[in-house]
Amino acid sequence: MSKGLLLIWLIFFFQLVSLSTSSKDISFVFNGFGQSNLSLVGSATLLPNGLLQLAKDSQHQMGHAFIKKPVEFSSSKPLSFSTHFVCALVPKPRFEGGHGITFVISPSVDFTRAQPTRYMGIFNASISGSPSSHLFAVELDTVRNPDFRETNNNHVGIDVNDPISVESAPASYFSKTEQKNVSINLSSGDPIQVWVDYHGTVLNVSVAPLEAEKPSLPLLSRSMNLSEIFSSRRLFVGFAAATGTSISYHYLLGWSFSTNMELLQLLDFSKLPQVPRPRAEHKKLPFVLIIALTVILAIIVMAVLAGVYAEVSEPWEKVCGSK
């Protein structure tokens, strides 16, 4: 009798514990952003096909897309999360591509004081490096800034309160099929998968093309304590992008996020929106063709007219000459 009661109590207790821990975990997935409910600020816009365009295709633009309500990270556990997203960076025709996309965790979504270009739309020149920034970001950076100690215009970096990355590496992934590191062109315009995992002590970042699996070895793996960056556990997660004199179309296709790696939902690639390719390149051929056809047509018309004139004028001259 008392054993039975204890058992019931134990079952009740464990259900309560599992309920309270699972209710604190937050998970969401967006396959396209049509129903996403994100707050879009600056030049971020949602395109009709569900593609999220983060920065306008002109100079010195910033765009931000964040969840509307902050994530309440559990204060009784070490801060942890997993995220997987797909983005595409398409250089504007006749421009260098730039500057890049960042995945951001921040206690505030007020980026009115932030600057575009190499500050990526989240940092600014005067407070860079200050712990009062309370900013964590993973950057896909497509412009090389030597004053930020960047050696390469195609890198992935971990940023803590500062656009000077604490760690970065040229974009590449460990390919399972080829059993070697394969480099990725972030500015190719092709969709790129990005994973960021943090479980209290080590932060891992991986990138890969759409057709590849999650690499077994992360590109960046760094020991860090994210709890030291933030004074609050109410944190917004989202994305920013910025242009400068270098301009790319910065697109986000899909995003999955969870505070618990086991609950991270899979992205459904079949539902992701298509990335438009800049029209200028496609227009070139028809435009050349139109010019060529017009010239050929003009020559034919002139030749025909000249022939008709010759035929008409001959008898006319004869008539005139005889008079």
- Least separation in angstroms between residue 139's CB and ligand NAG is 16
Examine residue 155 and say whether the peptide bond preceding it is cis (omega within 30 degrees of 0): no
Binding of ligand NAG by 219 (CB under 6 A) = yes
Closer by beta carbon to ligand NAG, 6 or else 261? 261
Closer by beta carbon to ligand NAG, 2 or else 76? 76
30-69 residues in contact with ligand NAG (CB under 6 A) are 37, 68-69
Q: Is 35 exposed, middle or buried (0-12, 13-18, 19+ CB in 10 A)?
A: exposed
Give the residue carrying structure tokens 């010195």.
Answer: 60
- Least separation in angstroms between residue 78's CB and ligand NAG is 7
Report the C-alpha gap between 260 and 222 in whole angstroms. Answer: 19
Type of residue found at 2? S
Report the C-alpha gap between 53 and 250 in whole angstroms. Answer: 6
Which stretch, 122-130, 246-254, 283-291, 308-316, contacts ligand NAG (CB under 6 A)? 122-130
* DSSP one-letter string for 183-214: E--GGG-S-EEEEEEEESSEEEEEEEETTSPP
Closer by beta carbon to ligand NAG, 95 or else 269? 95
Report the C-alpha gap between 139 and 158 in whole angstroms. Answer: 6
Binding of ligand NAG by 292 (CB under 6 A) = no
Type of residue found at 233? R
Binding of ligand NAG by 266 (CB under 6 A) = no
DSSP at 245: S
Which residue from 24, 77, 199, 233 is in contact with ligand NAG, where contact means CB under 6 A? 199
Residues that bind ligand NAG (CB under 6 A): 37, 68-69, 91, 113, 124-127, 169, 174, 180-181, 185, 187-189, 197, 199, 201-202, 204, 217-219, 221, 225, 227-228
